[in-house]
Amino acid sequence: MKAQATEIYNRRKQFFDDHAERWLDMWYKDSATGRCDKHEKDFKRLFSLLPLKAGDHVLDAGCGTGVLVPFVLEQITDTGILYELDYAEKMIETNRSWHERNNIRFIVSDVSNAPLDNASCDVIICFSCFPHFHDKEKAMMALARILKPRGAFVVAHFDSSEGINKHHESCHAVMHDRLPDKEGMCSLLQKAELEVDLFVDEPGFYCVMAKK
């Protein structure tokens, strides 16, 4: 069983490394405009919900190539710190090449072992990545440790849990990666002593916001 879990973990990681340079074009490029603005309205909706402010320290967990970077930096300004964390080296390498800013810290690490201090982040965002966390309970506990008291923890996708799970079933590398429904997610949050403030799971949009 352990060998199978390791194989799944490595296959998933290789998938993200292999697609890093084309990631934005694959999922965010609008064929009509030729720009990566396919989800412009969805990002506007998401960031209208996030309690970001100037000076915040923010962890973008499972950041990939950094699609959230411009949106977060606009809110936290140069006085804040953004941690871009992903376990796929090529994702971080590509992210760094596109987003050279003095207030960004790039970290290659599994989220369950994130090398950040206790209570060091005001906001933690898991965008389009939570299903890929190998041990979701361990990951949630690790992130809760990093979150400041009264800080915000967010899981978001631009599809429902049902839609995301059906999509993953079609890809061998991530076919085991599931986005929990409300009952499953609330159970994980409760174990991590995080209190749910918002839960949206509808076609085209999934957003869970909790506080410590």
Per residue of the chain (212 residues), give pLDDT as tens. Answer: 577 788 888 888 898 888 888 888 887 887 788 877 788 999 999 999 999 999 999 999 999 999 999 999 999 999 999 999 999 999 999 999 999 899 999 999 999 999 999 999 999 999 999 999 999 999 999 999 999 999 999 999 999 999 999 988 887 878 888 999 899 999 999 999 999 999 999 999 999 999 99
Residue 177: closest CA among 134, 122, 123, 117: 134
Entry field: residues in the chain: 212
Q: Please tell me the distance from the alpha carbon of residue 8 to that of residue 127, in angstroms, as a whole number.
A: 21
Residue 111: closest CA among 202, 192, 34: 192
Structural domain for 84, as ranges: 2-211
Find the largest Cα–Cα distance for the chain.
47
Domain count for the chain, please give it. 1
CATH number, residue 137: 3.40.50.150
pTM of the model: 0.93
- Asked if 147 and 79 touch (Cβ cutoff 8 Å), the reply is no
For residue 85, the cross-strand partners are 61, 107
